[in-house]
């Protein structure tokens, strides 16, 4: 057994997976062999969930009952809604509220007595979690605004329905397609911190509610899930500044400020998901306000070309464009990371199921660096 220390498990292989693959040198991301570009531009989020959970893209005959089953599970118990209201009144953080909601979902699980090794039952539980998260999140936001929750609309897909429950208005096609695409882009991304957390929990054969709750907790950390919120806060700071946005970024970098949304643990080139969201940001700008798109493209051009970050392997990641896209869709800034979780829950569930098919309890070691041969002194003599 090697004694080499790999801080942060950098470069350590801990599992085999057929779910997603990343080539950080060329900027390539695939889900089960399909490029993210093809899926984002040609599939729905429901189709991608089916792909991740079942191993292949659905036919029309397979998709309809799958989407219907998700739709049938959208409603949450009144007790969950009452708790969301109490948390909104207490000014709880949205990610913490979501963590609480998912824990509560298990209290109303109709298959709570299923064998932990019954992976079909686990998948059905995962489907219920995925269907209910948008409802709980939207209700929490409505309560924060002093308004009543909006019931799910059975005529709308998961993405459009979330926007509908958030605002009370059916979104237009551009908004619905953009948000659906954003969910696809965030559905899975290898063994990131939150996915690995879910897998560790799943390896104990704990229930899928525990695994997803753990994933939410890991994603809530600022080093993992909060960069898109940071990006939008910087863009708002630029907008409120008296400086031109080009002058602002020049001055900020000269002062040593780090611009969020640049650099990635895996990618050495521009994140392929960022390229797709940049296209959507441009489309939204053409149909509304264009300043956010102008700010992001100016910052990218300046940092990449003139400051040489591209040559150093530091390029825009998905968060650099997702923040402004969500803002253009009218989504509150502190809901960005919960939306990330809403999408990524599908990937967490897929990884837990995949790992449990050939399960082995995850149990790494630590190198001991403490003292040796300490002499014990009884309490009365210390």
**Integer Cα distance of 49 and 345 in angstroms:** 10
**What distance lies between CA 18 and its chain's CA centroid?**
19
**Integer Cα distance of 228 and 231 in angstroms:** 5
**Integer Cα distance of 211 and 286 in angstroms:** 41
Q: Considering only CA atoms, which of 5, 10, 2, 11 is closest in space to residue 366? A: 5
**Which member of 180, 230, 319, 351 is catalytic?**
319
Q: Considering only CA atoms, which of 284, 60, 35, 75 is closest in space to residue 177? A: 284
**Ranges assigned E (strand) in the chain:** 20-23, 28-31, 34-35
**Which member of 180, 264, 271, 351 is catalytic?**
264
**Integer Cα distance of 239 and 160 in angstroms:** 29
25 is catalytic: no
CB burial of 299-325 (b: ≥16 within 10 Å; e: otherwise) equals bbebbbeebebbeeebbbbbbbbbbbb
Q: Name the 3-class secondary structure at 21.
A: strand
Question: How many separate helices (H) and strands (E) can be counted in the chain?
Answer: 16, 3
**Integer Cα distance of 64 and 59 in angstroms:** 9
231, 332 Cβ separation under 8 angstroms: no
291, 141 Cβ separation under 8 angstroms: no
Q: Considering only CA atoms, which of 153, 147, 171, 30 is closest in space to residue 85? A: 147
Q: Name the 3-class secondary structure at 114.
A: coil
C-beta pairs of 286-293 under 8 Å, 24+ apart in sequence: 287/174, 288/328, 289/328, 291/239, 292/235, 292/324, 292/327, 292/328, 293/324
264 is catalytic: yes
Q: Which helix (H) or strand (E) holds 92?
A: none
263, 302 Cβ separation under 8 angstroms: no
Q: Active-site residues: which are they?
A: 264, 319
């Amino acid at each position: 057994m090697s004694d080499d220390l790999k801080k942060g498990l950098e470069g350590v292989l801990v599992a085999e997976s057929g779910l997603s693959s990343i080539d950080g040198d060329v900027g390539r991301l695939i889900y089960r062999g399909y490029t993210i570009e093809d899926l984002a531009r040609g599939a729905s989020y429901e189709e991608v969930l089916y792909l991740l959970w079942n191993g292949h893209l659905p036919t029309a005959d397979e998709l309809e009952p799958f989407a219907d089953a998700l739709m049938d599970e959208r409603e949450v118990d009144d007790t969950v809604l009452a708790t969301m209201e109490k948390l909104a009144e207490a000014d709880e953080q949205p990610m913490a509220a979501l963590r609480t909601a998912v824990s509560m979902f298990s209290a109303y699980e109709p298959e709570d007595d299923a064998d932990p090794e019954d992976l079909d039952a686990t998948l059905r539980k995962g489907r219920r979690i995925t269907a209910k998260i948008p409802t709980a999140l939207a209700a929490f936001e409505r309560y924060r605004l002093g308004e009543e929750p909006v019931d799910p609309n059975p005529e709308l897909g998961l993405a459009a329905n979330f926007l509908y429950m958030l605002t009370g208005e059916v979104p237009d096609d551009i908004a619905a397609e953009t948000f659906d695409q954003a969910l696809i882009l965030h559905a899975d991304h290898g063994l990131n911190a939150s996915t690995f957390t879910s897998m560790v929990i799943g390896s104990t054969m704990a229930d899928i509610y525990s695994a997803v709750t753990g994933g939410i907790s890991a994603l809530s950390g600022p080093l993992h899930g909060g960069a898109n919120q940071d990006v939008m806060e910087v863009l708002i700071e630029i907008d409120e500044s008296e400086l031109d946005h080009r002058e602002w970024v020049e001055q900020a970098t000269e002062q040593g400020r780090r611009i969020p949304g640049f650099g990635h643990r895996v990618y050495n080139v521009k994140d392929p998901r960022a390229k797709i969201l940049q296209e959507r940001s441009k489309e939204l700008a053409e149909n509304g306000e264009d300043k956010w798109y102008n700010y992001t493209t100016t910052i990218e051009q300046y940092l990449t070309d003139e400051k040489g970050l591209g040559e150093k392997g530091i390029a825009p990641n998905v968060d650099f464009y997702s923040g402004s896209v969500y803002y253009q869709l009218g989504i509150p800034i502190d809901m960005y990371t919960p939306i990330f979780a809403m999408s990524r829950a599908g990937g967490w569930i897929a990884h837990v199921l995949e790992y449990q098919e050939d399960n082995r309890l995850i149990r790494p070691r630590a190198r001991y660096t403490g003292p040796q041969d300490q002499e014990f002194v009884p309490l009365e003599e210390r």
